[in-house]
Amino acid sequence: MKFKQMVNPAKGLGAVMTGLVLMGTGLSVQAATDEYLLTVTRPNQLHVIDTKTDKLLRSCDVPGTFGNGGIASSPDGKVAYVMTNKWEDVYGFNISDCKIVFSMKQSTPMEQVKSIISMTVSADGKELYTVQNPVKLHKDHFEAIQPRLAVYKTDDGLNAQPVRTYPVDRRITKLGFIEKTSEVILGGGDIKAIDTTNGKVRTLAKLQNWDRSPEGWVPPDAFAMHTMGEHIGEYIMPYFTIKWNGEPGDMEKAEFLWGMTKVDTKTGDVTTGEVLPFEFIVFNWVTDPNDEDIVYGSFNQLSKHNIKEGKTLAVHPMPHTYYNINMLEDGSKIYVGGTSSDISIHDPKTLKKIGSIKLAGDMSTSDLRIAKVQR
Amino acid sequence: MKNRSMKRVLRFGGAVAFLGFASTVSAIDGPQIIKENCLLCHSETGKAEAPFSRISQQRKTPEGWQMTINRMKSQRGLLLKPEDERVLIKYLADTQGLAPSETADFRYVLEREPNVVEQNVPEHLASTCMGCHSGARAGLQRRTTDEWQKLVHFHMGQVPSIEYLAGHRDRPWFQIALNETSTQLGEGYPLVTKAWDDWKAAPKAPLNGDWVMSGFMPDKGEFSATVSVMPNKKDEYTLLVNGYYANGTKLTGSGNAKVFAGYEWRGAVVIDGRKMRQVFAASEDGQSLSGRMFLKNDDVIGGEVFAKKAGKSPVIVSVSPTYIKQGTTQTLKITGSNLSEKISLGKGISVEGVVSKTADHMLVKVKADAKAMVGDRTLAVGASSLDAALAVYDSVARVDITPGESIARIGGNGGPIPKQKSIYRAIGYAAGADGKPGTEDDLKLGYMPATWSLKPFDAVAEEEHDLKYAGKINAQGIFTPGDAGLNPERKMSTNNVGNLAVVGTVTEGGAAVSGEAHLLVTVQDFVKELIQ
């Protein structure tokens, strides 16, 4: 039930920096950072929201048909890469003026290529990665072929082409980038990492192929529809499993459990294990920047949990479904969004609603991401 | 008289489009239509037995071919003249169709019978395909293994999220579907079968002539009718329908029918001003038709239909009601043709006389002795007989509501998708020899009149006030769901969905016996297909 705790040096450093702010040096990273909330609504617009005022700053028209509304931010926060056109194309927007500074189309007349959520940017901002799921378009039939990691150079500008590709597993969703090892995290049936220079893949955490007996456990359903975690540099792949305390299939004795594989995107440190009893559906999770044992979840409710103790601390019913959730770096506000056209703002201590941002269209499955821009 | 009716029918026929009824005639035949319209993508194989790539490696029902052509039109740029489309579907369904024995287990999906819970679906099909499709969807196709594999690849291109769906993503869905499910489908539902080769070669009985039909419509009740089926051109017929509902009201109608693969009857009729569809299968000897008739615009509102060809000898189609209580007198409606008045129902049942007689039915007054033995009786009318036509019973001990598991869907309210109703009937049982209801020896009595009510299915449904919002049931057992769209009165402004129990109560001699069915009122079906 419990996470194996790991020491996180980067976290310690953050605490020191916060201390500096309190001492009034004015030199802290946080003090010099503006955080912008990014999301996409139908029909197809990228929205930039100032988290200081929680006001919409600008909306950028995204070319093509709405896709999944996936967003990846450049590390300097200045460019937002948006996946569009039914999961096929990516456009990079300068978030200060909506200028399109990057674009790529994955499909060709001979090949239909979709990326299911999978998009991330390297820590230096020079490369953008997608996992491509290609289907060859023969004259009278389709042929699904092996998925691949595609590497694009962000300064190739418009109509960029992949500079490298490497074969990867099927069913990959959420990607992340490990700064220390320059690997892309591949969230699929198992959690793996691929070296972006040579395509070498290693396993970070076995999930569907874990070593537990089927008499004792149901193989996990690991799935992520959204990417977040940038507020503290964390990648979370949640999963659901059942522990059979009696005979397999004996629901009376069974335990329904949430598990999480967490990757520290700075160091690559991995923790994995069951963390909470399954009480209700949570679509996405984020960790409290000030207490790594505390997570918040969104769906039909906003909820707060202690994953060290395996306890639900608070549940705040929501007026409708919100797929998505994110937080500011200092942990002062929770943003709950996706699905419909309003972003609900909450106090992490009490989960009470403290504000709302109304958008012109539905967010549907769109990401809700934080871009951190140094002043 | 008959000629005048026929002219009226023929004029009407031109306006009906249901698997291709129309007056315009195509100038070219099936293979030529394929050559002229499909070879931009498909290729000629040079093999006489399978001349076209992909097309020749599959067999389907008329609806299956219609769906394929619809997809080619909407997504692959096929432009086909309506008259050529009709010829092509007929050609493909006739030459690459399914034998009667190959469709026998899956009629319900062609008949659009609602709320069927499929039984005995192979595990490989259930886990790979049935998250989206019925088992019948696969069961009504025949393909080579290579074609089943191409179908998996098609799904990957057409529905790229398929391997990420719940129930798929926790396993290597694509690899399983491609390497295991396709192989099993190729073995279970192969392109080449003896059943189809034999049926294709067998002579097909023409279906014209006079028929006696018995059926049920949820809002009108049981009916009997004579159907005059007149040949129009090959495999196409004109119909005249004349009959009576159970309450004696007259029923009249007319329309057309087209027969595919020698037995797949598809009719479009207007009965008492309502447009209806018939999906029947003719028996291999061409002497009976069975299937379902339903409203064109509301296919849940329909019911079973059975018809036999009338000839010189007496034919019994059905009896209603199918039960009589010990010591009571009952009027039976015997549907059939050339019915003689020599009627017998076995020991303990006396026939008191024929009340009335028409071309399609006879009303007969019968009496059961107080000590008549409980059990089924054979009805004999002259030289003709019907087994288990009438059940003699002591008391109604159990009532089952059918369907036991059901779904209705909210709709309407200005939206493009109409409400999907659900319909219920009560089936009575006597306790049988052991005196205990719910045991194997219970005696099925048949459909009984019932009163209808709803209640919350569980505590959650009660707390959410589902009963108030999800819909209403009428005296005929027809449930009409609530309006579509968000309802601000409800928690999270949710739709008028609900989880209900349908209660049907049969009252007999002051004693009420109830049965319950489960009804889930859910959201609209946004992807409704000819074969679900």
pLDDT digits (tens, 9 = 90+) for B33-55: 999 999 999 999 999 999 999 99
- Whole-number Å distance between alpha carbons of A193 and A176: 9
Residue B470 backbone phi and psi in degrees, to 5 = -75, -25
Which residue reads 């491509």 in tokens? A132
List, for residues A210-228, the tens digit of each pLDDT value.
999 999 999 999 988 899 9
Residue A140 with chain B: CB contacts under 8 Å: 41-43, 53-54
Q: Dihedral angle at the C-alpha atoms of B495, B496, B501, B504, nearest 10 degrees?
A: -150
Mean pLDDT throughout A363-367? Answer: 97
For B44, name the nearest residue in chain A, comparing CA atoms only.
A140
| Average pLDDT of the segment spanning A165-192 | 97
B452's enclosing H/E stretch is strand B451-456
* Residues B271 and B155 placed together within one structural domain of the fold: no
Type of residue at A137? L
Amino acid of residue A170: R
pLDDT in the model for residue A4: 41
Could you give the 3-state DSSP secondary structure of residue A14? helix
Bond into B403 cis (ω within 30):
yes
Asked whether residue B382 falls in the same domain as residue B342, the answer is: yes
> Positive or negative CA dihedral for B432, B435, B441, B442?
positive
Which residues of A sit within 8 Å Cβ distance of B? 87, 112, 114, 116, 133, 135, 137, 139-144, 170-171, 173, 189, 208, 219-223, 300, 318-321
Residue B290 bridge partners (DSSP):
B281, B306
CA distance A44 to A360: 11
Asked if A219 and B492 come within 8 Å (Cβ–Cβ), the reply is: no
Minimum mean pLDDT among A159-163, A167-171, A218-222: which range? Answer: A218-222
Query: Locate tokens 């028409």: which residue?
Result: B358
Do A171 and B150 count as a contact with CB atoms less than 8 A apart? Answer: no
Tokens 């990079």 sit on residue: A92
Do residues B87 and B152 both lie within one domain? Answer: no
Report how far residue B454's alpha carbon sits from residue B468's, in angstroms, rounded to the nearest whole number.
10
In chain A, what residues touch B43 (CB-CB under 8 Å)?
Answer: 139-140
pLDDT digits (tens, 9 = 90+) for B416-426: 999 999 999 99
Contact assessment for residue B115 and residue B406, using Cβ atoms and an 8 Å cutoff? yes
**Distances B381 to A371, B199, B308, B329 between C-alpha atoms, Å:** 86, 34, 15, 19
Residue B56: name the closest of B238, B226, B192, B217 by CA.
B192
Any domain includes B528: no
**Cβ of residue B71 closer than 8 Å to a chain A Cβ:** no
Pairing type for strands A234-243 and A255-264 reads antiparallel
**Does the pLDDT of residue B447 top 70, yes or no?**
yes
Q: What's the CA dihedral at B245, B250, B256, B257 to 10 degrees?
A: 30
Hey, are the CB atoms on B160 and A114 less than 8 Å from each other?
A: yes
- Mean pLDDT score of chain B: 93
Percentage of the residues of chain A whose pLDDT score is greater than 90 = 90
* Same-domain status, B290 and B341: no
Q: Is B410:B416 a contact under the CB 8 Å cutoff?
A: no
Integer-rounded Cα radius of gyration of chain A: 20
Nearest to A219 among B164, B170, B493 (CB): B170
| Parallel/antiparallel/unpaired status of strands B511-522 and A33-41 | unpaired
pLDDT confidence of B20, banded at 50, 70, 90? low
Sign for the pseudo-dihedral over CA of A348, A350, A351, A356:
negative
Place of tokens 């539905």: A362
Are residues B510 and B404 both part of a single domain? Answer: yes
pLDDT digits (tens, 9 = 90+) for B288-325: 999 999 999 999 999 999 999 998 888 999 999 999 99
The residue among A151 and B509 whose pLDDT is bigger is A151
Contact B163 A171 (CB under 8 A): yes
Would you say residue B203 lies in a domain?
A: no
Q: Are A37 and A60 in contact (CB under 8 A)?
A: no
Cβ separation of A140 and B42 shorter than 8 Å?
Answer: yes
Provide the CA B226 distance to its chain's centre, in angstroms: 20
**B184 in the same domain as B235:** no
The label of the residue with tokens 């019925």 reads B134
- CB count in 10 Å sphere of residue B57: 19
| Smallest CA–CA distance from A107 into chain B, residue | B157
Q: Which two tokens mark A192?
A: 């793996």
**B215 shares a domain with B281:** yes
In a shared domain, residues B117 and B61? no
Residues B45 and B65 occupy one common structural domain: yes
Biggest CA-to-CA distance, chain B:
76
Q: Using pLDDT thresholds of 50, 70 and 90, give the confidence band for residue A14.
A: very low
| B196 within domain boundaries | no
Q: Would the CA dihedral through B130, B135, B140, B146 be positive or negative?
A: positive
**Tokens 């409704």 -> residue:** B528
Q: Looking at residue B450, which CATH number applies to its domain? A: 2.60.40.10
Q: Residue A140 and residue B43: Cβ atoms within 8 Å?
A: yes
Q: What is the rounded distance in angstroms from the CA atom of residue B75 to the CA atom of residue B55?
A: 17
Domain total in chain B: 5
Q: Is A292 exposed, middle or buried (CB count within 10 Å of its CB: 0-12, 13-18, 19+)? A: buried
Distance CA A245, CA A136 (A): 46
CA-CA-CA-CA torsion sign (B448, B453, B459, B464) = positive
CA–CA separation, B334 and B384 (whole Å): 12
Torsion sign, CA atoms A139, A142, A146, A149 = positive
DSSP code of residue B431: -
How far apart are alpha carbons B383 and B343 in whole angstroms? 10
- What pLDDT score was predicted for residue A375? 85
Confidence of residue B498 (pLDDT cuts 50, 70, 90): very high
Place of tokens 């079906």: B525
pLDDT tens for each residue of B170-206: 999 999 999 999 999 999 999 999 999 999 999 999 9
Q: What is the pLDDT of residue A29?
A: 46
Residue at a domain's end among B309, B343, B361: B309
Domain final residue pick, B362, B393, B424:
B393
3-state helix, strand, coil in chain B (%, to 5): 25, 40, 35
pLDDT band at A238 (very low <50, low <70, confident <90, very high): very high
Here the tokens at position B24 are: 């315009």
Measured distance between the N- and C-terminal CA atoms of chain B, rounded to whole angstroms: 43
Residue B432: inside a domain, yes or no?
yes
Which of B298, B307, B105, B287 has the alpha carbon at shortest distance from B205? B287
Q: In this structure, are residues B493 and A319 in contact, taking their beta carbons and an 8 Å threshold? A: yes
Confidence tier at A96 by pLDDT (50, 70, 90): very high
In a domain, B200, yes or no: no
Cβ-defined contact of B173 to A171 (cutoff 8 Å): yes
In the structure encoding, which two tokens stand for residue B230, read together? 């007149």
Are residues B217 and B300 located together in one domain of the fold? yes
Does residue B485 lie in a domain region?
yes
Question: Tokens representing A153?
Answer: 């150079």
- Chain B residues whose CB is inside 8 A of the A219 CB are 170-171
Which contacts (CB < 8 Å, 24+ apart) does range A303-309 have? Answer: A303/A351, A304/A348, A304/A351, A305/A275, A305/A276, A307/A3, A307/A260, A307/A275, A307/A276, A308/A2, A308/A3, A308/A5
| SS3 state of residue B454 | strand
Q: Which residue range is the domain that position B67 belongs to?
A: 2-98
Contacts of A300 in chain B (CB under 8 A): 492
Domain ends where: B72, B98, B124? Answer: B98
Written as six digits, the tokens of A33 are 């950072």
Burial of residue B21, with CB atoms counted within 10 A of its CB: 0-12 exposed, 13-18 middle, 19 or more buried: buried
Number of Cα atoms under 13 Å in the Cβ half of residue B77: 4
Compute φ and ψ for B502, nearest 5 degrees.
-95, 125
pLDDT in tens, B95-151: 999 999 999 999 999 999 999 999 989 999 999 999 999 999 999 999 999 999 999
Cβ(B320)–Cβ(B246) below 8 Å: yes
Residue with tokens 């595990």: B123
Structure tokens, B480: 């009409």
All residues at 6 or more sequence positions from B118 whose CB lies less than 8 Å from its CB, including other chains: B134, B135, B136
Instruction: Identify whether the C-beta of residue A275 lies closer than 8 Å to the C-beta of residue A1.
Output: yes
Instruction: Please say if the pLDDT value at position B4 is more than 50.
Output: no
Chain A environment of B158 (Cβ under 8 Å)? 142
| CB proximity B179 to A under 8 Å | no
B51-B54-B57-B58 Cα dihedral, nearest 10 degrees: -120
Q: Tell me, what's the pLDDT at B21?
A: 57
A238 vs B contacts (CB less than 8 Å):
none
Q: Chains A and B: how many Cβ contacts under 8 Å?
A: 70
One-letter identity of residue B264: E
In a domain, residue B531? The reply is: no
The CA distance from B495 to B484, in Å, is 6
> B54 CB near a chain A CB, below 8 Å?
yes
pLDDT at residue number B16: 35
Q: Is the pLDDT of residue A24 over 60?
A: no
Q: Mapping DSSP to helix (H, G, I), strand (E, B) and coil, where does residue B188 land?
A: helix
Query: Are the C-beta atoms of A154 and A125 separated by less than 8 Å?
Result: yes
| Cross-chain Cβ contact A171/B164 below 8 Å | yes
On whether any CB of chain A is under 8 Å from the CB of B156, the answer is yes
Residue B23 confidence (pLDDT) above 70? no
Asked whether residue B225 falls in the same domain as residue B179, the answer is no
d(CA B362, CA A253): 61
- How confident is the model at residue B25, as a pLDDT? 72
Q: Which residues of B410-445 are buried (b: 16+ CB within 10 A; e: fewer)?
A: bbbeeeebebbbbbbbbbbbbbbeeeebeeeebbbb
CA distance A118 to A149: 9
Identify the closest residue of chain B to A240 by CA–CA distance.
Answer: B170
Q: Is B9 a residue whose pLDDT tops 70?
A: no
Helices and strands of chain B, counted as H and E runs: 14, 28
- B residues 493-512 near A, CB within 8 Å? 493
Token pair for A349 = 């201590």
| The pair of three-digit structure tokens given for residue B70, joined into one six-digit string | 């619809």
Looking at the structure, tell me whether residues B270 and B356 fall in a common domain: no
- Answer yes or no: is pLDDT of B249 > 50: yes
Decide: B454 and B466 in contact? Cβ < 8 Å. Answer: no
Say what the pLDDT of residue A25 is.
39
Is residue B532 a part of any domain in this protein?
no
Contact A144 B153 (CB under 8 A): yes
